[in-house]
Amino acid sequence: MNISSIVVMTKPEHIQDVLKSLEESGLCDIHFYDEKGRIIVTIEGEDVYEETFKLRAIQDIPHVVSAEMSFAYSEEELQKAINEFERVQKEQEVPEILERDDVKAEAIVYKGHIKAYIK
């Protein structure tokens, strides 16, 4: 599942028409708009292709001056990042000195690599 936010711009005199079109389209959820013609919406899709289709459909709505993705969330990318983090965590042992309560922080000196940290 992908979720993206889109900033939609229109002229102030067309804001109500564009809001109505966006609402009726079923393509997105409207979250914010102002008197200057800025509208913030979110779209959801199973993949980037579906999101791109929805973005282009929004761009084609009459009186839309521009519609561009602002932020995107991809469940697939998140899972890849989690998997990579877990892999690295398993491969790298935490040095024993960092696990001890009796070692003062001042005794640990960073020298560009965690394995060379003791004075």
DSSP string, 44-69: EESSHHHHHHHHHHHHTSTTEEEEEE
Give domain status of residue 23, yes or no: yes
Is 110 among the domain residues? no
Residue 46 falls within a domain, yes or no? Answer: yes
Q: Is residue 87 assigned to a domain?
A: no
Instruction: Note whether residue 90 is domain-resident.
Output: no
Candidate from 55-59, 62-66, 72-76 with smallest mean pLDDT: 72-76
Check residue 71 and give its pLDDT.
84
Q: Over the chain, what is the mean pLDDT?
A: 86
Provide the number of structural domains found in the chain: 1
- Is pTM, for the whole model, over 0.85? no
Side chain identity, residue 57: A
Cα angle 94, 95, 100; round to 5: 100
- Residue 28's pLDDT is what? 97
